[in-house]
Homo-oligomer: A and B are copies of this chain.
Amino acid sequence: MLIVLKPDAKPKQIEKVCAEVRAMGFQPHPMPGAGRTAIGITGNKGPVNPLPFESLPGVERCIPVTKGYKLVLREMKPEGTVIDLQSAKVGGGKTFTIIAGPCSVESRKQMDQVARFVKDQGVNILRGGAFKPRSSPYSFQGLEMEGLEILKETGAKHGLATITEVMDTSTVEAVSAAADVLQIGARNMQNFSLLKKVGKAPKPVFLKRGMSATLEELLLAAEYVLHGGNYNVILCERGVRTFADHTRNTLDLSIVPSVQRLSHLPIFVDPSHAIGRRHFVEPMAKAALACGADGLMIEVTPDPDHALSDGAQTLDFKGFEQLVESLRPLAKVLGRTLN
């Protein structure tokens, strides 16, 4: 940590800050600078609480240096994490993986139809929500256990890996039994009880970035899962909340290379939720591929205009086919393989 002093900080004040650092068992390193002094701290094993120092006289502000994550750092696995889902390998920089399916599991027939279609398109991972986080208690909340059952059957029938959201600790076991990947939704990115629980689960975790999560918080949320013993985590950008109102959320694609620089975990993009408009899914999906994302999560359903949730951002079969067709040559020229 770095403690920045005020321009007029007295030598006595500087000494008091140093004494406080020493009292914590660390070493202070005062550095006189242009107009002011800054004090570095060494000897700490983890992040130092920056805040106590800020109330000392003469201190302007503190700047944390050490981040709280370790296991997610690229240095831990420079070649990148690859997750083997049998039907598909995720991550590692060569493949570009499309996860597709409806927002909500609505019926066995719907899922069967979608599974057959996406498999034909070369997709190997099927999504479908059984438990649905909805802003309003009066909105459709998903088919729950029945939805899980349908998803599992459909995946098995078509040889597709499956992914679905788990919303609380009490259903982690059931979801782990039914699906191949456990999705943590954006609203639960800092539901630490849930993160600890899926850290013990036998299935990979697909962790969506919170609506206003920083890169650091996203990596720390993943660190919870890895810290629990589950090293198979996929991160996913799904748009963040800003003042901009032309899309539902603001898709922050620059997090893709930022994650890849810092961490070994695969990073996906969900343009459907980020944008909330079906006609912008294709351009943003192409952008995600072009900037190096490991894959996409795309909503598709036969009749999106009558879907029980999120219809307007969901592609129909024709739209999805067109999307895959537009991605294929792009992937090729970028040295990536669609799977």
Within 8 A of B (CB), among A271-328: 274-280, 283-284, 286-292, 304-306, 310-313
CA distance A49 to B193 in the complex (A): 32
Interface residues on A, range: 35 or more
Q: CB distance B253 to A287 under 8 Å? A: yes
Oligomer: number of copies: 4
Query: Hey, which chain B residues are within 8 Å of A278, CB to CB?
Result: 55
CA distance A192 to B211 in the complex (A): 16
Query: Hey, which chain B residues are within 8 Å of A330, CB to CB?
Result: 290, 330, 333-334
Within 8 A of B (CB), among A109-167: 133-139, 141, 167
Q: CB distance A168 to B191 under 8 Å? A: yes
CA distance A334 to B327 in the complex (A): 10
Which chain B residue lies CB-closest to A255? Answer: B246
CA distance A278 to B253 in the complex (A): 16
Interface pick from A80-88, A174-182, A213-221: A213-221
CA distance A188 to B193 in the complex (A): 10
Bitwise interface map of A from 239 to 277 toward B, beta carbon under 8 Å scored 1, else 0: 011111111001111111110010000000000001111
A25 to chain B, nearest CB (A): 12
CA distance A151 to B251 in the complex (A): 36
A299 to chain B, nearest CB (A): 11
Query: Hey, which chain B residues are within 8 Å of A250, CB to CB?
Result: 240, 242, 250, 252, 254
A293 to chain B, nearest CB (A): 9
CA distance A85 to B125 in the complex (A): 48
